[in-house]
């Protein structure tokens, strides 16, 4: 039987995948249980690590997302802080600046280099 912490983590995967389905990623699927790999699957071009934690260790979360990423995928961590309910709209996203939309906009303008 999963602990309350494990159950909250699994539920957070489900909530994040549901939010993504409503916002342009209709095939988003959460991992459940002790599955290895990305926490939310079928998000083309991204490797997403989902955390529901009190501690703050973003570098390890991004490393975990990178480890699970396929070649060319951008990595990010979605964080549900303590005290946040199940409205994924309010969760935090951490990613490398090189993977951020700020850099994507720069790439689209041709300012790469």
Model confidence over 63-94: pLDDT tens digits?
A: 999 999 999 999 999 999 999 999 999 999 99
From the options 1.25.10, 3.40.1350, 3.40.1130, 2.40.50, give the CATH code of 4-109. 3.40.1350
User: Do residues 91 and 79 touch, judged by C-beta distance below 8 A?
Assistant: yes
Burial class (CB in 10 A: 0-12, 13-18, 19+), 25: middle
Q: Is the Cβ–Cβ distance between 65 and 75 less than 8 Å?
A: yes
**For the chain, which residues make up each domain, given as ranges?**
4-109
Distance CA 6, CA 107 (A): 39
* Helix count and strand count (H, E) for the chain: 3, 5
Strands 74-81 and 46-53, sheet pairing: parallel
Q: What is the pLDDT of residues 17-76, one digit of tens each?
A: 999 999 999 999 999 766 778 999 999 999 999 999 888 999 999 999 999 999 999 999
- Percentage, residues of the chain above pLDDT 70: 88
């Amino acid at each position: 039987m999963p602990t309350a912490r494990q159950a909250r983590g699994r539920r957070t995967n489900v909530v994040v995948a549901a939010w993504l389905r409503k916002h342009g990623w209709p095939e988003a699927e959460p991992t459940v249980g002790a599955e290895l790999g990305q926490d939310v699957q079928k998000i083309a071009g991204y490797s997403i690590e989902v955390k529901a934690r009190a501690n703050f260790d973003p570098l390890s979360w991004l490393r975990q997302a990178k480890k699970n990423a396929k070649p060319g995928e951008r990595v990010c961590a979605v964080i549900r802080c303590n005290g946040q309910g199940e409205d994924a709209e309010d969760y935090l996203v951490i990613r490398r600046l090189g993977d951020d939309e700020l850099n994507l906009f720069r790439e689209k303008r041709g300012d790469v280099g």
